[in-house]
Amino acid sequence: MSNFWTRTITGLSMVFILLAALWFSGWVFAAIFMLIAILGLWEFYRLITSESCHPQKYYGTIAGSLIFLATAVINLFPWPSGYIPPPWLTFIPFLIPLPLFFLSFIIEIYRNKPNPLVNVATTTLGFFYIALPLSLLTYFSRPDVIHFLGMPVILVGYFAFTWIYDTTAYLYGKQFGKHKFFERISPKKTWEGTIAGTIVTLLVSYGLHFLVPELPLTDWMVLAVMVIIFGTHGDLVESLLKRSLNIKDSGTILPGHGGILDRFDTMLISAPFVFLYFFFQHAI
């Protein structure tokens, strides 16, 4: 089977699983993404481990899981009918990594590994680069958000824009791409693919406004633009990481796509910006 069809089958399978989870329950969705976060953290720590870098793999994975779990519980907790939790409660997930960050220093004292500051830095980087961004997605799966066909609108739109932009840019760029977009970091990415992905994603966002008018057109367009801008940079960040480690893929767990970081890299950078926009807009 060619890499294209392997990639397509894997991608469609993930789409089906995530949409089914969103339709079934926010808790099911959170459980799936918590597993993704755990696998992503372990993959990240495995990649950066070397003779000069020894991240606290077990502690980092457990701490990242706690960040995700706490965020999911805060967002999905079944509050009494009519009770509206205070907005500041949503920002607790941003505070949870702080004690975990300082605890990593204490743990490093007892490890007797070279380059302790590098070890602490790479351990805590996993919190902020992988666990926290993915955990913020549970904010959009709460029962009180705008739903369509039983699924949270903003989260489905976010996934749809991410998949559409990535797929269009990949296919069009592979077929017609000639001008490199950022050759120093990602030699295969082209301007033609990026522009095609941008146009198609914006058109889809405009069309979705008519399908789900409860979400203003401005929010649909802003969501698409944030996916395009920050998602592109998320892909570049992961390419930079792989290039610095001299590897092609972050893993092999997803046939045709590589590892967890290869597939969800765009979300790691874009998710916090999407969260902040909609939180302050009170759109959900």
Count up the domains in the chain and report the number: 1
Average confidence score pLDDT of the chain: 88
Distances (CA, A) of 156 to 19, 101, 205, 208: 8, 32, 12, 11
For every residue of 91-153, DSSP letters joined together read: GHHHHTHHHHHHHHHHHHHTT--S-HHHHHHHHHHHIIIIIHHHHHGGGGGSTTS-EETTEEH
pTM for this entry: 0.91
Domain that residue 52 falls in: 3-281
C-alpha to C-alpha distance for 169 and 175, rounded to whole angstroms: 10
Q: What pLDDT sits at residue 19?
A: 82
For residue 147, what are the β-bridge partners? 152
pLDDT category, 282, cuts 50, 70, 90?
Answer: low
Confirm if 221 and 203 have CB atoms less than 8 A apart.
Answer: no
DSSP for residue 253: S
More confident residue, 255 or 74: 74
Confirm if 26 and 143 have CB atoms less than 8 A apart.
Answer: yes
C-alpha to C-alpha distance for 242 and 249, rounded to whole angstroms: 7
Six token digits for residue 249? 């893929």
Confirm if 72 and 107 have CB atoms less than 8 A apart.
Answer: no
Reported as a single tens digit per residue, the pLDDT across 20-74 is 888 888 899 999 999 999 999 999 999 999 989 999 999 999 999 999 999 999 8
Distances (CA, A) of 24 to 71, 150, 159, 250: 20, 8, 17, 31
Q: For 258-266, what is the mean pLDDT?
A: 87
Q: What pLDDT sits at residue 81?
A: 67
Angle between helices 153-176 and 3-24 in degrees, nearest 10: 170
